[in-house]
Structure 1
């Protein structure tokens, strides 16, 4: 990912929190059928290795897991908004896009054993169901489970490096940045509100 120093975010705590909050990611690999991408929930175990480990599962019918070579890349995308040059109220400015994203790279490892798959499913269900008022229970004793396990492939990605990009108009003077915040704060959509919040944090930090 192209990350100018002005926009680079390298705080591990911040990057990990972002990956957890935006866990529906894009997994990109090179394999038997060339470059392939899948959109999957990826969970982070930060306690493994220097950068943590991602884990998830995909349908066995999805051929992406076959013959993966080289690095795998997981793209975690966050809020993004178009920024109009009219908001700067200054000559010589151009449109841009503000956004936040994290790319994690690492070694892709297949998980096909029963206990390994069950562990991935248990942890996935816990992560997404526990915040709900009435969590769904994963019944491992249900007769249908064995068939479901045969229909999926689990995987882990040992993270070797992480890139974070917080593109929030840091290359503009503070006055212009505050005008962008003001323009975004009056908009009702979630992405505008979130980018405005992050820009304000950046200005006040």
Structure 2
């Protein structure tokens, strides 16, 4: 991912928080024919001592997992995004753009087919996404069914080797232009316009 210095996010705690917030991402890897494969998956981010581990699972009939063990993969976590019209600047010789946030996580893959480890990963995933539900799903109520399903999936543990974070929030424009963009985005209903406006306001307040 191309990241000009003004858009680069280097705060590790911030990157981890954003990955957790936008945890449904895209897993990319090369198969043995050097063809890029991709799967849309939920991910759980775990901080283990000095390492960052990402866990997930995918359907066993999905061929992507068969060529991943011990190799590098890329996970893309996409954040909010919004179209920025150059008309909002109210100036000549300007062009429109797109503001967005994104994180690319590179890591080494370990495939997991041991049922005990797989069960632990699936339950951690379920517990994480069930938080806040009025009547959360519980494994103990569906034990036999879940145990049968374990034979139909493969779990992955990904040890993160590099994180690249990007926040493109008009930092390359003047404060006056950024304020105009914020005001316009707050009135937009498309995409994640209001969320991008809030992120821009936060950046503007820190003069970053």
Same fold? TM cut 0.5: yes
Q: Would you say how many aligned residue pairs link Structure 1 and Structure 2?
A: 204
Q: Classify the secondary structure of the residue corresponding to 1:32.
A: coil
Give 1:1-205 correspondences, 5 Å limit. Answer: 1-32=1-32, 34-50=35-51, 52-68=52-68, 70-139=71-140, 142-189=143-190, 191-205=192-206
CA distance in 1, matches of 2:63, 2:45: 23
SS at match of 1:143: helix
| Kept after mapping to 2: 8 A contact 1:41/1:56 | yes
Q: Deviations over 1:183-204 (max 9, x none)?
A: 0011234600100000000000
Structure 2 gaps, min length 5 = none
SS of aligned partner of 1:39: strand
Task: After TM superposition, give the deviation of residue 146 of structure 1 in Å.
Answer: 2.8
Superposed CA offset, 1:5-64 (max 9, x none): 0100010111001000000000001123521000000110022534x1100000000000
Which portions of structure 1, spanning 4 or more consecutive aligned residues, are displaced by more than 3 angstroms? none
Q: Give 1:144 deviation, angstroms.
A: 2.2
Whole-angstrom CA distance in 2 between matches of 1:138 and 1:166: 38
Q: With structure 1 as the length reference, what TM-score do the two structures score?
A: 0.95
Deviations along 1:136-195, one digit per CA (max 9) or x if unpaired, are 111387322332010000001000110000000000001000000000011234600100
